Amino acid sequence: AQSVAQPEDQVNVAEGNPLTVKCTYSVSGNPYLFWYVQYPNRGLQFLLKYITGDNLVKGSYGFEAEFNKSQTSFHLKKPSALVSDSALYFCAVSSSRDSWGKLQFGAGTQVVVTP
């Protein structure tokens, strides 16, 4: 069975500082990894994905994520956070051995960026 963990309920960071949101996963087969962001009273928006290839993936709004197979992690990063990055972030995983439909989300991490 596949699973995904976001160990931090909330991450607080000052504007201009680096932002990291952690995600670890467990799957059978090759992982397909995704990050989504949810702003208040809105649906989820796709940020980036890792399917294969380069371990460093670049996505929307200046975000990037690094796939680390040995640590089974896929942490989301942004070099310089903005107040507008304050939102709820979700990591999601599926695998090459499962149907696409088995995309599983983590519990989410609330990011708070203070001016």
Partner 1 sequence: EAQVTQNPRYLITVTGKKLTVTCSQNMNHEYMSWYRQDPGLGLRQIYYSMNVEVTDKGDVPEGYKVSRKEKRNFPLILESPSPNQTSLYFCASSFGAVGGYTFGSGTRLTVV
* Residue whose CB is less far from partner 1, 30 or 84: 30
* Binding map of partner 1 across residues 56-85, x = CB under 8 A, - = no contact: ------------------------------
* Residue whose CB is less far from partner 1, 15 or 38: 38
The Cα 66–Cα 64 span in angstroms is 7
* Binding map of partner 1 across residues 9-48, x = CB under 8 A, - = no contact: -----------------------x-x-x-----xxxxx--
Task: Give φ, ψ of 47 to 5 degrees.
Answer: -105, -50
Which of 22, 49, 75, 77 forms a contact with partner 1 (CB under 8 A)? 49
Amino acid identity for residue 44 in this structure: L
111: CB partners within 8 A, 6+ apart: 10, 11, 13, 19, 21, 81, 85, 86, 87, 88, 89
C-beta of residue 20 within 8 angstroms of C-beta of residue 91: no
List of residues contacting partner 1 (CB under 8 A): 6, 32, 34, 36, 42-46, 49, 51, 90, 92, 94, 99-108
